[in-house]
Amino acid sequence: MRSPSPKWETNIPKLPIDYGSPSGRVAEVNGMLHVGYGDRMFQFKKGAWEGEENHLPEIQDIGSVCECEGKGYVMDIKDRDRCSSIYEWKSETRDLELLTKIPDEYQLKNRSAIGHNGNIYLVGGMRSVKEGFLFSDRVDCFDINKGEWKPIKKIKNARWDCSLAVIDDKMFVGGGLGAWNSVECFSMEKQEFIDIKPTTKDRCQLSSWNGKLVATGGWGDIGEWESSNCVEKYDELSGYWLPLPSINEGRKGHGACTTKDNQLF
């Protein structure tokens, strides 16, 4: 979708997978759209997807793909969706280099990851079976340059498998199991979370597009299971979500990201 006249295009080939949930596994790295699935990384290059036969031996299951200062990063999940390690992704050679092992206390199930300003943030998640499948309000930060982990301010609504977006020095956390259509904004300057108006749909995907927070898809009407084709942007002045042209096909559990040429996928 391009500015100033938003229009959804459908001429992109489908991913060569039968079924999957790309939520949190889509990012632009080195000018190419990347999608992680299982132990493979797909790159959209010259109008086609590459990577169908390229399995990554280091990876058991890709949990998140994110970009930070021009580099790509992959979070691996092991032991029934428990986050384990973060790797730097070398897109030109299609190779991985271990960046850090995630400390035991941060290894929750189904955490979401995003990169910003030299840091990788892990948000939410779920505690172990022994602890009763409790949703987590943790937010933890890895400083790439210093190689250090530290916990930061907790989110107000515990959630797992949530959606993340960054605009300027604000991180937005939306949806996820346990929090549904609620959205929180984290100010890097003030180091605090505040609630903003919920999205229209449950568990939609957040993205930064044209300097605005955009929500796509989700779970139909609140409390229903149908996939939604809803697209809306958050207007900070009014505090309301405003409609944008709907995507052509309803979807949920999908991934979303904006490329450097201001296209929203």
* Tens-digit pLDDT profile for residues 20-44: 788 899 999 988 999 999 999 999 9
Residue 1 has pLDDT above 60, yes or no: no
Please report the pLDDT score of residue 89 as a whole number.
96
Highest averaged pLDDT of the listed ranges 5-14, 117-126, 219-228: 117-126
pLDDT confidence bin for 7, thresholds 50/70/90: confident
pLDDT in tens, 148-166: 999 999 999 999 999 999 9
Please report the pLDDT score of residue 132 as a whole number.
60
Task: Say how many C-beta atoms besides its own lie within 10 A of residue 242's C-beta.
Answer: 10
pLDDT in tens, 77-136: 987 678 999 999 998 899 999 999 999 999 999 999 999 999 999 999 997 656 566 899
pLDDT confidence bin for 10, thresholds 50/70/90: confident
Name the residue with tokens 């080939």.
13
CA 148, distance to chain mean position in Å, is: 22
Please report the pLDDT score of residue 3 as a whole number.
46
Please report the pLDDT score of residue 128 as a whole number.
63
Rounded to whole angstroms, what are the CA distances from 231 to 27, 200, 214, 235, 260? Answer: 19, 9, 7, 13, 20
pLDDT confidence bin for 2, thresholds 50/70/90: very low
Q: How far apart are CA 35 and CA 150, in angstroms?
A: 28
Q: How far apart are CA 106 and CA 129, in angstroms?
A: 15
Please report the pLDDT score of residue 21 as a whole number.
81
| Average pLDDT of span 225-237 | 93
pLDDT in tens, 44-80: 998 999 998 889 999 999 999 999 999 999 999 987 6
Task: Say how many C-beta atoms besides its own lie within 10 A of residue 204's C-beta.
Answer: 28
For the entire predicted model, the pTM comes to 0.93
pLDDT in tens, 172-223: 999 999 999 999 999 998 999 999 999 999 999 999 999 999 999 998 765 5
Q: Which domains does the chain have, with CATH numbers?
A: 26-243 (2.120.10.80)
Please report the pLDDT score of residue 179 as a whole number.
93
